Each structure stands twice: as C-alpha cells, then as structure tokens.
Structure 1
Amino acid sequence: MRPANNHNRGKKMRRTLAAGVVALALSGCASIMSGGTQPVTIKSVPEGASVTVTNRAGEKVHNGTTPVTLTLNRGAGYFKSETYKVEVKKEGYEPRQLDIVSTVNGWYIGNILFGGVIGLLAVDPATGAMYSFPDSVNATLNVSEKTVAGSAQSLTIVSTESMTPEAMKNAREVVAPK
C-alpha cells in the first residue's frame, strides 16, 4: 500500500506538466523568443546626419541624428508587418531615403515543428513577432553637386618663366589625361 503523500505528489506533478504543455501550446515560438519589438541601428556616413523615421501609416516614429538605435514594432496588425521609411539628411550632402522592410522570423517556423497551432495562427501574427528586421541600416551620403560647384578651388595657368623662385616652390604640375 502506498502512502497518500506520494499519490498526491504524483498528481500534483502531472498537473504541473499538463499546465506547462497547455502554456506552450497557447504561446507562439517567435513571441517567446523575439517579442513584438526589435532594436534597429541606423548609421550614416558621415555621422551626425539628421534622421527621420516614419511608419507604414506615415506617423513620425523618430527624429534625431545618426547613429541611433531605435526599438521598432515588428507588426502593424494581424498578419501585417510594419515597414518604415528612413530619411537621412546633412548639409552639403544629397538626402537619402531607405526602407526598413521585414522578413519572416525563423522562430515563427518553430510553431510548425513544436505543434504551436495557436502561436502559428493567432499569437505570433497578432503581436508581429512573426516578422524580423535587419539589425542595422546604413546610409552613405553623397556630396551635393551644389557644394562641389560652389567650392573655393580654382585653377590658374601661368608660364613658369614668369614665376618667382618662391612661387615655383608652391606650384603643382598638372598633366592632361591621355
């Protein structure tokens, strides 16, 4: 005959195990592993450029300078990934626009492997955790044509015979391309 204490302990253990299985079945792999938000770093060359980030709805999410790390929402609704437009500007440079676009998060596929039907069809799509962004985006700004055209550089052509020895020390020879 078994003591009643062991019987109750076994029953309690089975309930705990069953509760754990139910909790796993009702959750999503991507939601557990990644969450509904993700940090994304925005960099520029040169640094210190102004950056404006807007979401799919056109709402301004951030306004500041590079480099910056933002925590962005992955989802924009049920089975709808969020996308972001990034505008990077700096005086003397051409402005640059980039898109931050998501891909399907690998953990979302874990729902198929681990039998998380509710995670596959409800939790991960509702939280946006089924999507993933690149960890960083980089904008290389090109020097503005106005800046190049308005530069103070000039070219003066003179005969070396008319130059003083001191001026000859500062002179540079220009060779035409062949």
Structure 2
Amino acid sequence: MKALRKMFTLTALTATLLTSGCASIVGDSKYPVNVSSTPSGASFTVQNKDGVIVHNGSTPNTVTLPSGRGYFKGEAYTIVFKKDGYADTSAKLETSMSGWYWGNLLFGGLIGMLVVDPMTGAMYKLPAGAAGNLGSPLVAEAPKDLTLLEIDQLSPNERASLVRIN
C-alpha cells in the first residue's frame, strides 16, 4: 500500500511538472499598466498590434493588458493621448521576454517551455507604465468668423490703416 501511495505521489508530481509552465505558475499573462500624461486629464486610447482599440479612458489610469497575442507571439500596443489645446502624442508599449520563462529549464520542462507558456502568453511581460507628454499648450486659435464690409462702412482711422494688396 505504501509503495502504491509513493507511486501515485510521484506520478502526480511528475505530471504537474511536465504539464505546467514556469512563467504560467510564477508570472502572469495579463499585466496592469499605469497610464499617465503630462498634463494629466488627457483622454487616451489603447490599440493592439492589429489596430483594434482595446481600451480607452483618461489619465491617470491603470489598464490590464494581455502580453501575448498567439502562439509564440508577444503583443504590442500604441497609446494615443489627446487633450484640448494640446498636440496629440502617442507612446509604444512593447512586450519583452519574461525571466520566469527560462525557469522552464529547471521546473517546467519542455511542455512548459514549448506549449504552455507560449500559448498563454506568460512567456512575455509588459512594462509597468506608459506616459505621454503633450508638451506646451498650443497657441489659441484665431476666431473663425469672417465679416465682409464695404469701404464706406469703415471709419477714417480704419481706412487709414488698410494695406493695399496687389
């Protein structure tokens, strides 16, 4: 009976190690990203590599984003910041290899390294934050109204300040 229990424990332990990925166990496949801007209060949209908007909001904010987009493919995002009176700006958010992925050499085995972590996206990680600097405020726009007058509707001082254009 003891031999059967030891065999069962050993089999369960071996199956767990062979069917799990180290990065899947220790790391994650979705990461919180702090989105900020200077000045704050800007609206933002997050687009994935395919150009699909996956989130929008206003700064400051925290967005949880998946790090993978398919088997052995890391995701990349573009964050576009907009605020009235400022020029739009954008920031890139790229994935990088998770250090926990290499733990498969010790703990997760080939199944973790070649199947589990690449499929779940756990082999990749995202930066903790993304920021957009909108710069200085733009110069106020000139009024868009246009008033046409005849010359006799102008005062003598206004007529004196006119410049002839040829």
Interval containing the TM-score (normalised by the shorter chain): 0.7 to 0.9
Residues 136-151 of structure 1 mapped to structure 2, 5 A cutoff = 136-147=129-140
Alignment partner of 2:107 out of 81, 101, 114: 114
Alignment partner of 1:93 out of 59, 62, 86: 86
By how many angstroms is 1:114 displaced?
A: 2.7
Residue 19 of structure 2 corresponds to residue 26 of structure 1: yes
Residue 59 of structure 2 corresponds to residue 59 of structure 1: no
By how many angstroms is 1:25 displaced?
A: 1.4
Alignment partner of 1:135 out of 128, 138, 147: 128
By how many angstroms is 1:144 displaced?
A: 3.7
Q: Which residue of 2 aligns with 1:166?
A: none
Q: One-letter code of the match for 1:141?
A: L
Give the 3-state SS of the residue equivalent to 2:118 in structure 1. helix
Contact 2:19 2:108 (8 Å CA) reproduced = no
* CA RMSD in angstroms, aligned pairs only: 1.6
Figure out how many residues of one structure are paired with residues of the other and give that number.
142
Q: One-letter code of the match for 2:30?
A: T
Percent identity between the two aligned chains:
44
Q: Which residue of 2 aligns with 1:77?
A: 70
By how many angstroms is 1:145 displaced?
A: 3.6
**Stretches of 4+ moved more than 4 A in 1?**
none
Structure 1 stretches lacking a partner, 5+ long: 1-7, 151-178
Q: TM-score, normalised by structure 1?
A: 0.74
Q: Which residue of 2 aligns with 1:14?
A: 7
Q: Which residue of 1 aligns with 2:42?
A: 49
